[in-house]
Chain A
Amino acid sequence: MSIMELQDVRQVFRRGGKEVHAVNGVSLTVGKGETVAVIGESGSGKSTLGRVALGLIKPTSGDVVFDGIALGSLSKKEMRALRSRIQVVFQEPYESLNPRIKVGDIVAEPLIIHRPEMSRAQRRAAVIAMLERVGLTAEHAERLPRNLSGGQQQRIGIARAIITEPELVVLDEPTSSLDVSVRARVLDLLRDLQREREISYVFISHDLATVGLISDRVAVMYLGKVVEQGPTQEVLTNPRHPYTKALLSATLSTVVGQRREHVPLRGEIPNPSKAPTKCVLSGRCPVEIAECSTWPVNLLPVADRHDVACLRADADREPAALGGPR
């Protein structure tokens, strides 16, 4: 059963007469209680995709369907009411909390908006229960955000997101600004909450190690397109798209003595100023052939639930073509 479906979402921004094609036709399904990771470098359109999924920006074309409801068809009022079911945790824990409002009031705000029937005392009890659930205490409720550590601030962000018991939470790089030790504990918290409440996560990240820990499926984005998607373990251990391979080879292995083949990409990520007319990786790809530059490559299944947008997804068992192991 899916809780959210992104259907061929496109997002074009206009900045000073120039067009930016941030998202170029992405379709993605998130199942109930599932964690789907969206990974990619900055500029890949993953955060824009998250905002579209939240209904914070209207896609240029395509639609977002949440629990059978097309977000595009909702009035502003209906959309606001639906927000109690779709929540978000942002990357910057401090910036996402109003510096003038006490932590307890920040966590209480979604209840004030979505559960107006609650009494003050009920709300306070719910807030304190929630603070304790995310590993803080009632005493923290009286503090201002700046008097908390980064990890605590992010726990507040999480508490605010889940207090209305949403079915889907978009996690926009929730741990990337945290210390490694804090990161692990915040990830544990997120996983426990998911198990308790059957929340679905859209986990936006550029950190493959984190993604491997928390997600069931991943979608790899590059230049506004999903170039590979599939079960996390499958994609991370058996990547088929040259971009995924390059991304994986650029991260350090945690296994002592293990050497990964290094997959080089030429040049830098280009500006997404026009809709792609050829494979998005064309010009940077180590295994490029002439056909790659003639049409945009779409996702094709290579294995069970594993799709890759590459004409040479099957031709990758020739290490020579990739430069070979070092």
Chain B
Amino acid sequence: MSNPAGLRQPFFVPFFSRSVNYVRASPGIVAGGGMLLLLLLASFLAPLPHDPMTPDPTAVLLAPSSEYVFGTDANGFDVFSRVIAAGRSDLPLALMGTLASLVLGLLIGLPLSVKSKWSEGFMRALDAFQSFPLIVLSVTIVSLTGNDIQNILYAIVIINGPRFIRLIRGEALSIRDGRFIEAAIATGARPRRVVFRHVMPNVVDVCLVQCSLTTANAVIVIAALNFLGIGVSPPTPTWGSMVQVGAQAISTGQWWIAIWPGVAIFIAIASLNMLANGIQRQVEGS
């Protein structure tokens, strides 16, 4: 395979040249994807030094030490164990929310790419819907329907579904202007075949980028809702609720309780954004 970024081939091609070139060509994908993978592996495989769900009343508000790497909080929970364990619920939830948003976007966005009064009307309705502050809307919905974890999923879809619909429709509209779509119609392809065989494979690129960005957004939404105490019941560790608990202790000097879950959120979002950026570059390059 040729060098994706068109970089000059080194005079002597080393054994790992392909992977080295790949890292050089798309550092975003490698760095972002690597960090994300590390975070996921840690969440699911790392051995926890303490039980994240049972507090130790004798170890309250301890500063980071070799026993409690990230310190303990006001209830005697080990912050390190809880930061790691929170990833088990936060990250899969964010990914599921993104997947649901993507499916919604494809199911509605692709059919809407047929120019008609109806589809224009739907898009204007979507404009109106998106002009609401959606985070407020989802807070309202979640708090009205109860403190259930699946309500967080709905919140993510409410915020990100419309973005996917808009993106996929826009992309599909421009693809439909392509000559190969006219060729497919002239060949005798039915509208359904045109959409699934010819339009859909060509929106994959933008969807990949958007998925990555949406997952980052979902991590924030989850953290924000949890920070507000929505969608989580107390002993369960989540990054958002941990920041909330820790925020109360910052003024009395215990900075470590809020900082570490904050750092985890930061790493998740930074790596997802790097990944999105890297995919974007790859897509533009090809």
Contact = CB atoms under 8 A, between A and B. Distances in A.
Nearest to B185: A56
Contacts of B128: none
B225 to A, nearest CB: 38
Contacts, number: 58
A253 interface: no
Interface in A86-130: 87-88, 90, 92, 95-101, 109-110, 113-114
Nearest to B175: A98
Given A88-B183, A96-B179, A160-B183, A81 B201 contact: no
A81 B183 CA distance: 15
Contacts of B180: 95-99
A193 to B, nearest CB: 17
A230 B201 CA distance: 46
A24 to B, nearest CB: 23
Contact of B190 (A80, A98, A101): A80
A88 B182 CA distance: 10
A97 B180 CA distance: 5
Given A98-B202, A100-B202, A101-B201, A110 B188 contact: yes
Nearest to A146: B286
Interface string B166-186: 000000000000111011111
B189 interface: yes
B198 interface: yes
B24 interface: no
B193 interface: yes
A90 B188 contact: no
Contacts of A90: 179, 182-183
A191 B186 CA distance: 22
Contacts of A229: none
Nearest to B182: A56
A90 B184 CA distance: 12
Contacts of A160: 183, 187
A113 B187 contact: yes
A83 interface: yes
Residue from B183, B184, B197, B201 whose CB has the most chain A CB atoms within 10 Å: B183
Nearest to B205: A100
B246 to A, nearest CB: 48
Nearest to B187: A110
Contacts of A211: none
A90 B178 CA distance: 12
A146 B184 CA distance: 18
A54 interface: yes
A101 B198 CA distance: 8
Contacts of A88: 183, 186
Interface in B118-152: none
Contact of A109 (B178, B179, B187, B201): B187
B188 A84 contact: yes
Interface in B189-248: 189-190, 193, 197-198, 201-202, 204
Contacts of A100: 201-202, 204
Nearest to A55: B186
A84 B187 CA distance: 7
A109 B186 contact: no
A145 B190 CA distance: 23
A308 B145 CA distance: 78
A88 B201 CA distance: 23
A98 B198 contact: yes
Contacts of A110: 187-188
A113 B197 CA distance: 12
Interface in A273-320: none
Given A56-B182, A90-B183, A160-B183, A113 B201 contact: no
Given A54-B186, A100-B202, A157-B183, 8 more contacts: A80-B189, A83-B186, A96-B183, A98-B184, A99-B180, A99-B202, A101-B201, A113-B189
5 contacts: A88-B183, A96-B180, A100-B204, A109-B184, A160-B183
Across the A-B interface, give the 7 residue pairs with the lowest CB-CB distance, nearest first: A83-B188, A95-B179, A100-B201, A96-B179, A80-B188, A98-B180, A96-B183
